[in-house]
Amino acid sequence: MTQAHTTRPPSRRRHDREIIALAVPAFGALVAEPLFVMVDSAIVGHLGTPQLAGLAVAAALLTTAVSVFVFLAYATTAAVARQVGAGDLASAIRQGMDGIWLALLIGAAVVAVTLPLAPWLVDIFGASDTATPYATTYLRISSLGIPAMLVVLAATGVLRGLQDTRTPLYVAIGGFAANGALNAGLVYGAGLGIAGSAWGTVIAQVGMALVYLVVVVRGARRHGASLRPDAAGIRASAQAGVPLLIRTLSLRAVLMIATAVAARLGDTDIAAHQIILSLWSLTAFALDAIAIAGQAIIGRYLGANDAKGAREACRRMVQWGIASGVVLGAAIVLARPLFVPLFTGDTSVQDTLLPALLLVALSQPISGVVFVLDGVLMGAGDGRYLAWAMVLTLAVFAPAALLVPSFGGGLTALWGAMTLMMTVRLVTLWMRMRSGRWIVTGATR
C-alpha cells in the first residue's frame, strides 16, 4: 500500500508536467492561426462591403485547401516523436525533412491548380458579381503562399515531435504581428487595397516558413542529418498521410452537411448554428491542444519501447480530456448570458440557439475524450484505423442529419445528430484504446 502511494503520484505529476508543457504553448499557437483571417477581415472591411465579401470567399477556399493537408503536421509529429523516443535524433530530423519536402511538392501542385482555376472556384462558392473580382485577386495572390503554409504545418509537426511546442508559439505570435503590420502598410500606406492584404499575408507566411526552416536546418547540421530530398522517405510520408487525409475529409464532410442542413431550416436557424459552430470550434482549440501533447508524448514512449509508459500517459490524458470537457461545458452554461448577446441581439436567434447550446455544453466531456484519444492514436501512427472509424462515423451522421428537416426537427435536433456523431467517435476510439492494438513499439510502426 505504501509503495503504491509513493510511486503513483510522482508518475502522475510527471505526466501532468509533460501535458501542460506541451499543451499550453500548442493552444496559444492554435488560437493565433484564426487571428490571421480576423486581422485581414478587420483591415479589408474598411475598404468596403464588396471587398470584405470577396475576402470571405477567398479565405474560405484557402482555409479549406490548407486544412485538408493538416496530416502534414500530424503524421510528421508521430514519426519524429518515435525516433526521438528511440534516441535517434538524426533520423528524427531526417523524417521531418521528408515531411517538409512533401509539403513543398503538394504546395506547388495546389498553386498550379489554383492560379488558373481561381475565377471558377470563386464562382462555385457563389460570390456576387461585385465581390468576384476582389475574391479572385485575393485568391490568386494568396495562393502563392500555400507552399509556405504547408511547410509551416510540416515543420510544426517536426518540432512537436521533438517535444517543442514553444517555438511554434513564438513563430505564430511573430507571424501574427507581422501580418497585421504588413496588411495595414500595404492596404492603406501603399494604397494596394485588397491585393495589399493578400501580399501581406503571403510575406508573413513565407517569413514563418523561413524561420522554421532555419530552426530545422540548424538541428539537422547539429545531428548530422541529410537535408536532401529522399524519394523513399517522401513516399513513406505520403503513405502515412493518406489515411489521415481520409479522416480529415470525412470530418469536413460532417461539418459541411451540418451547415447545409442548418441552411435548409431557415435564416434564424443558420444564424444560430453559425454562432454555436464558432463556439464549438473555440472549445475544440483547447481540447486539440491536449491532443497535440498526446501525439508527441505517445509517439516518444512507443519509440522508446515503453508500452507501459504509453498506457499510463494515455490514461492520464483521458482524465485530462474529461476534466477539460467538464470545465468547458460549465463555462458555456455560466457565460452564455454574457457572450450570446455579443453575437446577436435578435431574440428569435437567441431563443433558437439556447437549447442546442446547452446540448453542446453537456457533450463537452465526450468531446474531451474524443480529442484526446484521436491524438493518442495519431501519436501511435494508427492512421488507418482513424480513417475507417471516421468514415463509419460519417455514414451514421449523414442520414441522421439529413432527416432532421424531413421530420420537422429544428436546430436542437441537428445538434443532437452532431452529439451522436461525437458519441460514435467516442465508441470507436474507446474500443481501439481498450484493445491495445494501437500499441506498436519501435522507432517505426
- HEC secondary structure over the chain: CHHHHHHHHHHHHHHHHHHHHHHHHHHHHHHHHHHHHHHHHHHHCCCCHHHHHHHHHHHHHHHHHHHCCCHHHHHHHHHHHHHHHCCCHHHHHHHHHHHHHHHHHHHHHHHHHHHHHHHHHHHHCCCCCCCHHHHHHHHHHHHCCHHHHHHHHHHHHHHHHCCCCHHHHHHHHHHHHHHHHHHHHHHHHCCCCHHHHHHHHHHHHHHHHHHHHHHHHHHHHHHCCCCCCCHHHHHHHHHHHHHHHHHHHHHHHHHHHHHHHHHHHCHHHHHHHHHHHHHHHHHHHHHHHHHHHHHHHHHHHHHCCCHHHHHHHHHHHHHHHHHHHHHHHHHHHHHHHHHHHHHCCCHHHHHHHHHHHHHHHHCHHHHHHHHHHHHHHHHCCCHHHHHHHHHHHHHHHHHHHHCCCCCCCCHHHHHHHHHHHHHHHHHHHHHHHHHCCCCCCCCCC
Q: What is the pLDDT of residue 6?
A: 39
Q: Supply the angle between the helices 49-67 and 194-223 in degrees, to the nearest 10.
A: 30
Q: Would you place residue 10 in the very low, low, confident or very high pLDDT band (cuts 50, 70, 90)?
A: low
Contact 298, 380 (CB under 8 A): yes
pLDDT tens-place string over residues 61-115: 888 888 889 999 999 999 999 999 999 999 999 999 999 999 999 999 999 999 9
| Percent of the chain residues topping a pLDDT of 70 | 97
Res 4 pLDDT > 50: no
| Cα 279 to the center of its chain, rounded Å | 15
Q: What is the pLDDT of residue 202?
A: 94
pLDDT tens-place string over residues 252-283: 899 889 888 888 888 788 888 878 887 888 88
pLDDT tens-place string over residues 19-72: 999 998 998 888 777 777 777 777 887 888 888 888 888 887 888 888 889 999
pTM: 0.88
Which is nearest to 303 in space by CA: 95, 142, 118, 152?
95
Res 398 pLDDT > 90: yes
Neighbours of 44 (CB within 10 A): 25
Res 128 pLDDT > 80: no
97 vs 128, higher pLDDT: 97
- Region 144-162: mean pLDDT is 95
Q: CB within 8 A of 140, min separation 6: which ones?
A: 114, 115, 118
